[in-house]
Amino acid sequence: MNSKFPIFVKKLDCLNFTDYYGLNSPGLTCYLNSVLQVLFMTVDFREAIERSCSDDPTPIDLHLRRLFEDLSKSTTKTHSVIEKLGITDVYEQRDAAEYFEKILHLTSPGASKIFKGELNHITRCLHCKKSNDSRSFFWMLPLVVEASDHHAYSVKQGLKTFFKRETVSEDNRMYCHQCNQKREAEITCEMTRNPKILTLLLKRFRFDYKQKCFVKLHCEVEAPQTLKFETCIYDLYALVNHYGNLTGGHYTAEIKSFETGEWYNFNDDVVNMHKPLFGKNNTFRSRSAYLLMYKQRRTCSESSDEDKLEAQCAHSDVAAEGRSCPVKVWSPQGHLKTIPVRANATVQELEERAAMELPEIQGQSVQVTSNGQTLEKSKQLFQCVLPSDTIQLVLKVRGG
């Protein structure tokens, strides 16, 4: 075919290579390269990093911004990010999931929140029926892969198991503060905040008690193209593969471009176009998939609320100071207002900002409360509440 124009055909093939560029590895840092490519190819994250104007020396934003700028033009080195992450031995094999989390921890909240979700573990005493909430955030949901000779491990089923109601009894009973003793309890887990990007970690590494060491499960995993969480629909757009075993392995990433709509394989400094991951049945099977990234569709109602908050925050003068978070505040008169505060603001600072934004409380003495608890003025706000919590301002009773 086309033997008349071999050079021309060759050139056409080469064009594919220039859509995206690879990352050089100064040693064995494929674990880092694969997650950096995922972050670069995540449009919301890339844009948030471009917008980020943090003066705070801690966040990794500046290093990522320079890396992304270079990566959009040519094959790039990762030295500055490697240094920022404190990696001293570039020949040591590391875990891609660990470094994905590490980067997000070091990124300013405005960018990292794209990957941040929240879970609520509800423990209900089976004796007094009192339930307790325990909220925590997550970057990824870990799924315990179970190997079987007969069928592939189903990601859909794994998620069902993750959110399954559990009853604890006997030695595992939970202490109930109402009953003042250990009781049988029911534990449910729910997602109270759906992240824009949902990352699933397929736990393929497991301690083998016979061999007395960690082993890797090479079993086949079946992942769906779309996932549904109540009103939210997610589409798979990226995955990080791990080949080999614990001591010697290799990471690559397969990512669907939001710019071209095509799939690409990122293998350190080499980038190739990849055939679409999904066939007719909307699932794919893999023995190497390790991290799966799903992107929330625009139609989800929750994300549009988030976007509104973000837009309000971006236009406020506080945002110009660097890291800031919008918090929802109810005035004593029942008016809801979104007020951006610094990420490390104290409760006192929120109160002062609220007085500026809510004329109705000016000159009044108020208490800052959340979930019925009064927050101490000297405390850091986000050590007492989550950014997603609603704050209530209560008028202080005179003489009280």
CA angle 300, 307, 324 (to 5 degrees): 140
DSSP 131-145: EEEEEEEES-EEEE-
What distances in angstroms separate CA 41 from CA 22, 108, 263, 307, one per listed residue?
Answer: 12, 18, 11, 20
Binding segment (CB under 5 A) for Zn ion, from list 14-22, 119-127, 153-161, 270-278: 119-127
> For residue 268, what are the contacts with CB-CB under 8 A and spacing of at least 6?
22, 23, 24, 25, 30, 33, 252
Nearest distance in Å: CB 131, Zn ion: 10
Q: Compare residues 169 and 260 and give the one whose CB is closer to Zn ion.
A: 169
Binding segment (CB under 5 A) for Zn ion, from list 67-75, 120-128, 165-173, 286-294: 120-128
Q: In the set 136, 178, 333, 390, which binds Zn ion (CB under 5 A)?
A: 178
C-alpha atoms less than 13 angstroms from C-alpha of 80 in its C-beta half-sphere: 13
Give me the residue whose beta carbon is nearest to Zn ion: 125
Q: Compare residues 81 and 185 and give the one whose CB is closer to Zn ion.
A: 185
Q: Compare residues 51 and 130 and give the one whose CB is closer to Zn ion.
A: 130
Q: Does 128 bind Zn ion (CB under 5 A)?
A: yes
Place of tokens 């069928």: 151
Nearest distance in Å: CB 122, Zn ion: 14
Nearest distance in Å: CB 128, Zn ion: 3
Binding segment (CB under 5 A) for Zn ion, from list 117-125, 221-229, 264-272, 295-303: 117-125
Q: In the set 127, 228, 315, 396, which binds Zn ion (CB under 5 A)?
A: 127
End-to-end CA distance of the chain: give it in Å, rounded.
89
Nearest distance in Å: CB 370, Zn ion: 25
User: Within its chain, how far is the Cα of 253 from the centroid?
Assistant: 17
3/17 Cα distance (integer angstroms) = 22
Q: Does 167 bind Zn ion (CB under 5 A)?
A: no
- Rg from Cα positions in the chain: 24
What distances in angstroms separate CA 298 from CA 107, 138, 190, 235, one per listed residue?
Answer: 24, 21, 22, 11
Q: In the set 125, 197, 313, 375, which binds Zn ion (CB under 5 A)?
A: 125
Q: Compare residues 179 and 213 and give the one whose CB is closer to Zn ion.
A: 179
Q: Compare residues 165 and 275 and give the one whose CB is closer to Zn ion.
A: 165
Nearest distance in Å: CB 176, Zn ion: 3
With contact defined as beta carbons under 8 Å apart, do 178 and 169 qualify? no
Q: Does 176 bind Zn ion (CB under 5 A)?
A: yes
Q: Compare residues 175 and 258 and give the one whose CB is closer to Zn ion.
A: 175
* Helix, strand or coil, per DSSP, at residue 316: coil
Binding segment (CB under 5 A) for Zn ion, from list 2-10, 21-29, 116-124, 126-134: 126-134
* Helix, strand or coil, per DSSP, at residue 168: strand
- DSSP H or E run through 292: strand 289-296
Q: Does 179 bind Zn ion (CB under 5 A)?
A: yes
Nearest distance in Å: CB 216, Zn ion: 42
Q: Compare residues 183 and 295 and give the one whose CB is closer to Zn ion.
A: 183
Q: Where do contacts with Zn ion occur on this chain (CB under 5 A)?
A: 125, 127-128, 176, 178-179, 183
